[in-house]
Structure 1
Amino acid sequence: MPYIPTLVPSSLPSLPGAGSEPLEAITDSVEASGVPAEALPWIAVGVAVLAAVVVSYVAAFIVNRILSRHPVLRSDINRCRIPTTLVLSFAGALSALQATAPDASWREASDFLMFVGLIGAIAWLATVLLHLVENSLLAKYRRESPNPRRLSKLRTQVSLLRRVATAVVLTLAVAGILLLIPQVRALGAGILASAGLISVVAGLAVQGTLSNVFAGLQLAFTDAIRVDDVVFVEGKQGSIEEITLTYVVVLLADERRLILPSTHFTTNPFENWSRGSTELSGSILLDLTWQAPVERLRARVSQLLEASELWDGRHGSVTVADAAGGMMQISIFVSARNAADLASLRGELRERLVAELQEKYPEALPKPVGPRPPA
């Protein structure tokens, strides 16, 4: 690999334990066996990578045996195998090169690439561990407290915290890689010298993004909306599917997704139908003639509600909401455990009552208005 003096610092940090007596002993024994000196560093790197793979495999095998009764947790931990192998491989390769070729001319370039890989692997491992912590917390809470409302609140907050932590980890990883380049470090000193002007310009440039980020955090920790909440926003009903740092995804009834910036929910009014509880109430309106048997309708509605699994038993009444011009409006007020059950209950009652009125009391139905005669 060619020497790259303009991209790497004059001296990169070495890992603790590099050049220790065990490594020197192994190096001396290999040299005594007649292996060419040029091939010795690469043999050492190969041994280090092989050792990293073996250690990762053995650790994964032990973890799988211990967590044999927890398949979900075991699956999440297995996602750490590849980044852990990479971290151990890059760290071992750096130590091997330090022990076998400490003064080689190509060491600066190779160390630069090795440190870049090590930083990237550590960042990858950290993001996977953040996912593992998130899933473990939610799984533990599901076992200890089956309350769906509190679980939804916890999932919203933990998910946002994990996203923030992931963004911080990736930012630190990129900064660490850039600091390995001398020219970037010099540029950073110049930027710090004019930090006041830069901060003003950056603040103006990302004002919209930062406002959405803070709005997302506000939504998560003020409990205004949670994942799975039923909302009525922009004239549409849906459920909160995802809350990110900058936008909220609303799953509509027809399975379309309405994506709104987080600031929309902090600056505009909206309806949250499951804010305090999931129970909802609603009305069914029927326009009938004065010949409609109101008492029989009231008794029939009670029978249908008692037989329905969708009714939660809180509200179930039939009243005459209006009567004028030979017509009256029947209002049937019912309740259900959640928005989906309420919609199904209203549709079921409306369908059953209209069918029975058509069959038994056709005189109660308004006559359809025919086309106007030609002038």
Structure 2
Amino acid sequence: MNIDLLGPWGQFALVVLAIVVVSQLVHRLMLPVVRRLAGYSTLFRAIISRCDRPMQWLVPLIAIQVALQGLPEDLRGLSSVQHLTSVLIICATSWTLIGVLQGLADGVIALHPATVSDNLSARRVHTQTRVLSRIASTGVLIAGFAFVLMTFPRARQFGASLLASAGVAGLVVGLAARSVFSNLLAGLHIALAQPIRIDDAVTIEGEFGNVEEITATYVVVKIWDERRMIVPLGWFTDHPFQNWTRQGSNLLGSVLLWVDYSLPVEAVRAEAKRLCEASALWDKRVCSVAVTDANDRAMQVRVLVSASNSGANFDLRCELREKLIAFVQREFPQTLPRLRAELSRSPSASPG
């Protein structure tokens, strides 16, 4: 078959087909080599994993754009094809850049595992990485959309006319999107100052849970009963809340017992120490017993214990409470809380 009979567009279609086939063959041949080289670097491996699919589009599109330069400038429809290719290249480039950002985030998170017992530093890195990568990805997406619009002449004219009336339009848009921008700024504040981090134990509006996810505009808090609380980022900068793991995951917890005055506190202290040492939940830091209150009926004995995290602390407190109550019932049943009353005869009462 004579190639000249196909015309410029027919010849160009063959060139495009050859570019796609060659690029896919090169990709299949080079990918195992690149992955083997990337095996020595966690960051590089994560980036390659995220950029594999967009690079399959970006490389042939660039080659096609270069091949378009060889066509005659007066060829009908050439400008439209070049414009379409440019738009696709911008989209593929934005996709690749977002993949690089996400790959960097995945690599940094993999280098700082949060599965260790003392994961404060890892959770700090996870929070900064995830929030900043999502903000940067949003910025790349917006920039890519802006570059696509700039390729359309009418869109550029529209942008110029919009800038001419930016006073009123900017005021309206600013008021309408105030909450959105405030949440984005709050996201930067949380990423840098870190009042909360991923997996922090927090109490918000009377609900206790762990920070499960931090997005660019809101935070997902996993409540202890498997519910999810969705909280806007701006809320954390405007309202007080409790962060149980701000400086570390280790926590103190108390077990309160109301008992009679006749209970020997030393026996309870020895039993609490024995129970703590026998429990795998105790982190061997604090185990103390003290009388913290008393009234006209009973005294309050507080057992203060420590654990490596909030979940272990709660389970340890429940375990000690149950076993100490059983200990008092077994060894000193007469010291359980009781109501005393003194009965006396009336002076005017006559004997039977």
TM-based fold match above 0.5: yes
Q: 3-state SS of the aligned residue for 1:269?
A: coil
The answer to whether residue 58 in structure 2 is matched with residue 80 in structure 1 is no
The answer to whether residue 6 in structure 2 is matched with residue 36 in structure 1 is yes
Distance 2:12 2:217 in 1: 48
User: 1:246 is matched by which residue type in structure 2?
Assistant: T
Q: Give the aligned partner of residue 238 of structure 1.
A: 209
The answer to whether residue 236 in structure 2 is matched with residue 265 in structure 1 is yes
Residues 243 and 78 (structure 1), Cα distance of their counterparts in 2 relative to 1, 3 Å cut:
closer
The answer to whether residue 310 in structure 2 is matched with residue 339 in structure 1 is yes
The answer to whether the 8 A contact 1:56-1:84 is kept is no
The answer to whether the 8 A contact 2:102-2:133 is kept is yes
The answer to whether the 8 A contact 2:109-2:126 is kept is yes
Distance 1:359 1:95 in 2: 88
TM-score (norm 2): 0.87
- Among candidates 125, 144, 149, match of residue 178 of structure 1: 149
Q: State the Cα distance separating 1:151 from its structure 2 match.
A: 2.0
Q: Give the aligned partner of residue 17 of structure 1.
A: none
Q: Give the aligned partner of residue 34 of structure 2.
A: 63
- Among candidates 100, 116, 136, match of residue 129 of structure 1: 100
- Among candidates 286, 291, 294, match of residue 323 of structure 1: 294
- Among candidates 150, 160, 178, match of residue 121 of structure 2: 150
Distance 1:49 1:332 in 2: 72
The answer to whether the 8 A contact 1:44-1:100 is kept is no
Distance 1:156 1:242 in 2: 9
User: 2:276 is matched by which residue type in structure 1?
Assistant: L
Which has the larger displacement, 130-139 or 95-104? 95-104
The answer to whether residue 96 in structure 2 is matched with residue 118 in structure 1 is no
Distance 2:24 2:306 in 1: 60
Alignment of 1:306-317 (within 5 A): 306-317=277-288
The answer to whether the 8 A contact 1:285-1:332 is kept is yes
TM-score (norm 1): 0.82
The answer to whether the 8 A contact 2:38-2:44 is kept is yes
Q: State the Cα distance separating 1:166 from its structure 2 match.
A: 0.7
Gaps of 5+ in 2: 340-352
Q: State the Cα distance separating 1:48 from its structure 2 match.
A: 1.5
User: 2:173 is matched by which residue type in structure 1?
Assistant: A
Q: Give the aligned partner of residue 169 of structure 2.
A: 198
Q: 3-state SS of the aligned residue for 2:70?
A: helix
Question: Deviation digits for residues 233-279 of structure 1, max 9, x if unmatched?
Answer: 11011122222222111121122211111121111111111112222
Q: Give the aligned partner of residue 254 of structure 2.
A: 283
Q: State the Cα distance separating 1:71 from its structure 2 match.
A: 7.8
The answer to whether residue 274 in structure 2 is matched with residue 303 in structure 1 is yes
Distance 2:236 2:309 in 1: 22
Q: State the Cα distance separating 1:200 from its structure 2 match.
A: 1.9
User: 1:362 is matched by which residue type in structure 2?
Assistant: P
Q: State the Cα distance separating 1:337 from its structure 2 match.
A: 2.1
User: 2:37 is matched by which residue type in structure 1?
Assistant: I
Distance 1:68 1:233 in 2: 43
Distance 1:182 1:367 in 2: 89
Residues 218 and 72 (structure 1), Cα distance of their counterparts in 2 relative to 1, 3 Å cut:
closer
Q: 3-state SS of the aligned residue for 2:285?
A: strand
Gaps of 5+ in 1: 1-29, 369-375
Give the CA RMSD over aligned residues. 2.6
Q: State the Cα distance separating 1:138 from its structure 2 match.
A: 3.3
Q: State the Cα distance separating 1:296 from its structure 2 match.
A: 1.5
Residues 363 and 147 (structure 1), Cα distance of their counterparts in 2 relative to 1, 3 Å cut:
closer
- Among candidates 313, 316, 319, match of residue 348 of structure 1: 319
Distance 1:303 1:215 in 2: 48
Which has the larger displacement, 52-61 or 37-46? 52-61
Count of aligned pairs between the two proteins: 337
Distance 1:181 1:299 in 2: 81
Distance 1:80 1:152 in 2: 26
The answer to whether the 8 A contact 1:249-1:259 is kept is yes
The answer to whether the 8 A contact 1:290-1:328 is kept is yes
User: 1:121 is matched by which residue type in structure 2?
Assistant: A
Q: State the Cα distance separating 1:140 from its structure 2 match.
A: 4.0
Distance 2:208 2:117 in 1: 26
Question: Deviation digits for residues 4-63 of structure 1, max 9, x if unmatched?
Answer: xxxxxxxxxxxxxxxxxxxxxxxxxx96x5552252121111111122222322331211
- Among candidates 155, 158, 179, match of residue 208 of structure 1: 179
Distance 2:118 2:299 in 1: 44
